[in-house]
Amino acid sequence: MRTVAACLATTAILVAAGPMPAPAHASPAPTAVSASADQTPRSTAVARAPLTKGKAWVAVSVATVWRSRTSPRKVDAPALANPVRIQTWLSRMTTAQRRALNGRADTQALLGDKVRIVKLRPGWAKVVVPDQPTPADSRGYPGWVPRRQLTATPPVAATTRATVVSRLGWLREDRAGGARTLRISFGTRLPVVGTTGSWVRVATPGGAVRRIRAAQVSVHAPADPALPQTRAGLVASATSFVGLDYLWAGRSGFGFDCSGLTSLVYRVHGVRIPRDASPQSRAGRSVGRVRQGDLLFYADSGGVHHVSMAVGNGRMVHSPRTGSTVEVIARSTPAYAREYAGARRYLP
């Protein structure tokens, strides 16, 4: 099974568990579907060089990384397309279907993220995601992604990068008054090819040039963090997602699980930490006196199963469980206080 990473309910008090539907498997290479709120009809698929083992890049706004090629169900077809229909997928799933992602999906990768292909099968690529550390594989987080969601074309060379720092942002055609083409997530990193007025011009995987509002991105050198490595900055980023629905395996501004939220927020602030809660609880350094930005862990007899971030004044922010949303609550909340297993610090 997956390393205990995304958030599970700690007790029956936290989750009203219902029966899960019997799994229905999607075909290995689902057909693309029509445009929706996720992208406009003017969206076009990126050009792709033939995929081979080795380096590749995510070519859709959010690629879900699946446990196996047979893990997706019929309801998951929008998440397998290019362009991916992430919002359509989320809106169509029932709470029970969202809960049943446990054991099927493990994480997500964002537009432009580098992966390494380790195996190719009809319609699918087994990848590792180097930017998401895990004890499961020293090369990066492992799983399966539809081939159509990857490109072998390297990113455009650029001296600066634009990282999305709003919850979501729209890419637009590269012209005045250009139409929306693709909605992308917080944490998405793309090469900068220029600026014009209040817009930043970026290159997408495959080389297409698009525009995004300057107010929605941080422009920085590739080796620099998109946002400052400060406690207050971490808290501001994490709490900006209050109200966002929980998503098992989620690691984007469309939905988070508990460790997806903490790991992506830290990444945007230039600190790489493990993807999952249990490995996060063994990284950094242990602290007794908790400060803003520290991660707090919760365990039962099965080990660490949940993570939150301290926000100060005795409160924490977290993405708790399927059927709930990102929230700020008191650290003394009984269901969590009785399972508290310590804190870790990743900043000086």
| Sequence-distant (≥ 6) Cβ neighbours of residue 186 within 8 angstroms | 164, 165, 166, 167, 168, 237, 241, 252, 253, 264, 268
DSSP 274-303: -SSHHHHTTSSEEESS--TT-EEEEEETTE
The rounded radius of gyration (Å) of the Cα atoms in the chain is 19
Q: Of 243, 267, 273, which is closest to residue 256 (Cα–Cα)? A: 243
Q: Which of 25, 220, 258, 269 is catalytic?
A: 258
Pick from 118, 62, 50, 109: nearest CA to 88: 62
165 CA to centre of own chain: 13
| 306 carries an active-site annotation | yes
Torsion-angle region of 90 (φ positive above 0: left; ψ -120 to 50: alpha; else: beta): alpha
DSSP helix/strand/coil, 236: helix
Q: State yes or no: is 318 an active-site residue.
A: yes
Say which residues have a Cβ less than 8 Å from residue 157's Cβ, sequence separation at least 6.
191
**Which one of the listed residues 7, 269, 305, 306 is annotated catalytic?**
306
Q: Looking at 7, 269, 305, 318, which residue is catalytic?
A: 318
Residues 6+ apart with CB under 8 A from 185: 61, 62, 110, 111, 164, 167, 168, 252, 253, 254
Please report, in angstroms and rounded to a whole number, the separation of the first and last CA atoms in the chain.
Answer: 34
- Of residues 178, 188, 193, the one with CA closest to residue 216: 188
Cβ atoms 309, 316 nearer than 8 A: yes
Active site residues: 258, 306, 318
